Amino acid sequence: MKLSRLLSILLVTTVAVYSCKKSDPDPGTTTEPAKTILNVAYGTDALQKMDVYLPAGRTATSTKVMVMIHGGGWTSGDKTEFNAFVDTMKRRLPDYAIFNINYRLSANPVNVFPTQENDVKAAMDFIFGKSAEYLISNKHVLIGASAGGHLAMLQAYKYSTPVKPKAVVSFFGPSDLTDMYNNPVGGSGLLAFGLAQAVGKTPTQDSALYANSSPANFIGSSTAIPTILLHGGADPLVKPVQSTIVRDKLLMSGIVNQYVFYPTGGHGDWNGATYFDAFNKIEAFLKANVN
């Protein structure tokens, strides 16, 4: 998923708006300078790395954490595709520490499911273990696009350790993999085949793996967290129903959520105005729900 050109438009617009804003200093901050650490290893594989962006004045009690997870159908992609997201969120939410992660990519028969899920969990454990060193709190937020949205929701709903996230943001992330395989966009057998290749099996071959890899199956009143879902009506890869399934289950469980639908939006190939609106809504949602 290549978003760099469109996101550069978003970045320019964001800079223009936010460069005019000044925020009052937080009396609870420290004198720690901002710090960027690239390609920090959280495992032994070359892809188990993350970029770390620590804000100035951070503290272990007040500095929130945002974990970003790139897309690419679980088989491709890189954290650098989220660099514009990083820059945008640093300007909009300067009190957050941001962790932009890579994970091992599926290449059947190597690194098939649940490798990516396990890597996200390992990254979260690593980040939590660095809380004292990095001066960051246990207030975690996950944000992902496409396959990254799926992984963000899966971590958020399925795991309460090392911490239970405070919120999750999903850009057109799959939530029910069995439904996605059985009912692909346009009935495309190629999309179903691609999913089976990434997972490593079909639902018929391993229904439990599909169930355990589907975020929607872990939504309940005690497990789900505030969620904002963003989806395009013309998405050629992930049907909007993958987001509305989550919305409906969250509503049934009484969990705060917001579903943002862009009727003409595709799979990440949104224009600058759409992305700007999306990040306005994400910023407002996180400010309202992460305290």
pLDDT digit string, tens, across residues 275-287 = 999 999 999 999 9
Q: For the segment 116-128, what is each residue's pLDDT rounded down to a tens digit?
A: 999 999 999 999 9
pTM score of the predicted model:
0.91
Four-residue CA torsion sign, 51, 83, 150, 290? positive
Which residues are CB-contacts of 121 (< 8 A; sequence separation ≥ 6)? 155, 159
pLDDT at 27 exceeding the cut of 70: no
Angle value at C-alpha 62, between 57 and 66, nearest 5 degrees: 90
Cβ proximity of 48 and 41 under 8 Å: yes
By residue count, the chain amounts to 291
Task: Specify the pLDDT at position 107.
Answer: 98
pLDDT of residue 30: 77
Over residues 178-234, the pLDDT tens digits come to 999 999 999 999 999 999 999 999 999 999 999 999 999 999 988 889 999 999 999
* pLDDT for position 19: 45
Please determine, for residue 9, whether its predicted confidence score (pLDDT) is greater than 60. Answer: no
The span from the CA of 173 to the CA of 96, in Å, is 23
Mean pLDDT for 15-41 is: 69
The pLDDT of residue 16 is 44
Which distant-in-sequence residues (6+ apart) come within 8 Å of 112 by Cβ? 106, 198, 199, 200, 201
Q: Return the residue matching tokens 């018929």.
A: 204
Residue 209 tokens, joined = 């793996």
Q: Which residues pair with 110 in a beta bridge?
A: 107
In the predicted model, is pLDDT for residue 34 greater than 70? yes
Nearest-angstrom CA–CA distance, 184 and 203: 13
Cβ-count burial 117-137 (b if 16+ within 10 Å, e if not): bebbbebbebbeebbeebbbb
Q: What is the pLDDT of residue 1?
A: 46
User: Which is it for the CA torsion 128, 134, 139, 144, positive or negative?
Assistant: negative
Supply the DSSP symbol for 95.
T
CA angle 226, 290, 247 (to 5 degrees): 15
Q: Which long-range contacts (CB under 8 A, 24 or more apart) does 277-285 make?
A: 278/171, 278/230, 279/10, 279/14, 279/88, 279/89, 279/92, 281/228, 281/230, 282/143, 282/169, 282/228, 282/230, 283/92, 283/93, 285/167, 285/169, 285/226, 285/228, 285/258
User: Above 60 in pLDDT, residue 21?
Assistant: no
What pLDDT shows up at residue 28? Answer: 58
Please answer whether residues 104 and 47 qualify as being in contact, where contact means their C-beta atoms are separated by less than 8 angstroms: yes
Q: What is the pLDDT of residue 3?
A: 53
* C-alpha distances in Å from residue 199, one per residue of 33, 73, 206, 248: 42, 10, 10, 25
The candidate with the shortest Cα–Cα distance to 65, out of 49, 81, 50, is 50
Q: What is the pLDDT of residue 265?
A: 98
Give the residue, 23 or 253, on which the prediction is more confident: 253
**pLDDT the model gives residue 23:** 44
Quick check: helix, strand or coil at residue 238?
coil
pLDDT score of 221:
85
Mean pLDDT computed over 59-70 = 98
